[in-house]
Chains A and B, each alone.
Chain A
Amino acid sequence: MDILKLTAWQLKELLAKKEISCVEAVKLLLAAIEKKDKSLHSYLYLNPGVIEDAKKVDKKIASGGRLGYLEGVPVAVKDNICIKNMPATCASRMLENFYPPYDATVIEKLKQSGALIIGKTNMDEFAFGSSTESSAFGPTRNPFDEMRVPGGSSGGSASAAGANLCFGALGSDTGGSIRQPAAFCGVVGLKPTYGRVSRYGLIAFASSLDQIGPITKDVRDACMLMNVISGRDEKDSTSVEIKIPDYTDFLKDDIKGLRVGIPEEYFASGIEEPVKNRVMEAIRLIEKQGAEVKRISLPHTKYGIAVYYILATAEASSNLARFDGVKYGFRTGNYKNLREMYMNTRGEGFGAEAKRRIILGTYVLSSGYYDAYYIKAQKVRALIRKDFTEAFKEADVIITPTAPELPFKLGEKKEDPIKMYLSDIFTANVNLAGLPAMSIPAGFVSSLPAGLQIIAPHFREEKIIETAYTIEQSLKGGISG
């Protein structure tokens, strides 16, 4: 048995039955990281205390102590989520030596569940990107083909999960940053409803869009991580007090009568044909099992990227104002006065994409352009949200491809910002509307994974889980080619 290929829930069972010790599992994992991650580069930092933590778990198991929900399961965490006494760099020179003095709420919850933190994962700088190439510390590579990108911005978490270098990971998703890399790395990624998971301790990119979520090897693992991290948090006033179900209750291979909407705009030109075919095959599979598949329309789909890049950069330009060389992080040595200190700290500390986005965000918020861009985008956002509200009157879930393409090659889009931005074309609208959505594997095309996205109404993650689990179980039969 290859321990590293186990899912989190399988590992949890083996640990509880004492068929493997936690220290053994962690040592196997560290050895695999040592061997494979030199080229993959999914991790930026490994927790030096993880073996000690694993020893404590083994003691607890041996003494028959009460075990936590994820006791002993090693989890990787995107480097924009704060963990006390570990760096949180956001893959930026700006925060290269930043050690947050507190745990994010999701980390507090993970620790309470008994999960172990294996390390921090690579990402696009400040989560600005769809390929993990904008990391100041070098790109991450795709575990299925190292010449290709893992997607982004949570590329390190997705790559680690896809390469069996963790038993589950946390990412963050502002315009597709959990789902698109999950699709590219052949794993499961869930962006929860806006407000389902606390953002306290997530270094902010665009606060009206950001959500933390799980990236895992299967749908059950995603449910288990959601059971741990969800919930209202006093420290995040946008988190919502709505009852959290046990998400694993919805792992049912039964979708008779489920109404599945297929939006024509997501299957139109611009999508790679083999990706579309994999998604359509999966849809036919659930149709055979009794789902009611219907064509729907989301007429404002094509405006999503324009709205997204106005709003996300506007919010980013405001959120990133805090990196001023005073409170934490990098300060230039090259200045004569305060103004120069700000200018040079930010000029030297931020990478190209961060600068580009701050400049664009400053432009759309500046006097004279605010109404034409920022307010206009917020109005079109209302129309995009309304499209979904209307669609959910006739569908319980909506299925689309996660990305319009297979994992692309490193360097292919790096020099063309708009081309890179269009990678989020099927995912960004979900954030604009605050909806939950999951990407799951839909099979392979010439040894590269394709992803399928399931979208549900606000706080109806369980509908996604039922659908995802049914597709996952059906595909185990194997329709990939």
Chain B
Amino acid sequence: MGIKKEDIEYLGNLARIGLTDEEKERFAKELEKIIYYVSQLSEVSTEKIPPVWHVLPVTNVFREDGVEKSSCSEEILSGAPDESDGFFKVPRII
């Protein structure tokens, strides 16, 4: 199966990663090889084998819904590239 430059562009859009032309060409070649390598799994018979969702038999964890102190908004916003009046600031959306 061939992976084309356009496929990489499509995936880049899905993942919101801007890629240069050079990167698209390189990743197309590399991804094709990697996909070919991982396709060897098709030779394993997995009929009636349920997929693993968790390696250990764990169940949901519940706790009381209590009020606790957590980080204040100032601390959380301190790493933001842009903020205003206690909010994250993003470019105009609509």
Contact of A329 among B23, B41, B79 (CB under 8 A): B79
Mark A335-373 against chain B: 1 for CB-CB distance below 8 A, else 0.
101111111101110101001101110111010000011
Q: How far is the CA of A450 from the CA of B75 in the complex (A)?
A: 45
Q: Say yes or no for B46: interface residue by CB 8 A criterion.
A: yes
Check if B15 sits within 8 Å of A359, measured CB to CB: yes
Total contacting residues, chain B, CB less than 8 A:
50
Q: Total A-B pairs in contact (CB under 8 Å)?
A: 160
Q: How far is the CA of A102 from the CA of B92 in the complex (A)?
A: 31
Contact of B17 among A240, A350, A366 (CB under 8 A): A350
Check if A380 sits within 8 Å of B35, measured CB to CB: no
Q: How far is the CA of A324 from the CA of B79 in the complex (A)?
A: 13
Check if A338 sits within 8 Å of B79, measured CB to CB: no
Check if A326 sits within 8 Å of B79, measured CB to CB: no
Check if B16 sits within 8 Å of A380, measured CB to CB: no
Q: Majority SS of interface residues in chain B?
A: loop
Check if A355 sits within 8 Å of B23, measured CB to CB: yes
Check if A337 sits within 8 Å of B92, measured CB to CB: yes
Which of these binds chain B: A41-49, A243-251, A303-311? A303-311
The verdict on A381 contacting B52 (CB below 8 Å), with A355-B17, A417-B30 known, is yes
The verdict on A338 contacting B90 (CB below 8 Å), with A343-B18, A378-B51, A379-B49 known, is yes
Q: Say yes or no for A98: interface residue by CB 8 A criterion.
A: yes
Complex interface residues of chain B between 78 and 94 (CB less than 8 A to chain A): 78-82, 88, 90-93
**Complex interface: chain A residues within 8 A of B92 (CB):** 337-338
- B94's nearest neighbour on chain A, judged by CB, is A338
Q: Say yes or no for A56: interface residue by CB 8 A criterion.
A: no
Check if A337 sits within 8 Å of B30, measured CB to CB: no
Q: How large is the interface on A (under 10, 10 to 19, 20 to 34, 35 or more residues)?
A: 35 or more
Mark A53-94 against chain B: 1 for CB-CB distance below 8 A, else 0.
000000000000000000000000000000000000000000
Check if A418 sits within 8 Å of B17, measured CB to CB: no
The verdict on A208 contacting B55 (CB below 8 Å), with A101-B71, A383-B46 known, is yes
Mark B25-40 against chain A: 1 for CB-CB distance below 8 A, else 0.
0010011011101111
Which residues from chain B sit less than 8 Å from chain A, CB to CB? 8, 11-12, 14-20, 23, 27, 30-31, 33-35, 37-42, 44, 46, 49-56, 58, 60-61, 63, 71, 75-76, 78-82, 88, 90-93
New contact pairs (6) apart from A194-B56, A331-B82, CB-CB < 8 Å: A346-B18, A347-B17, A348-B18, A417-B34, A432-B55, A434-B55
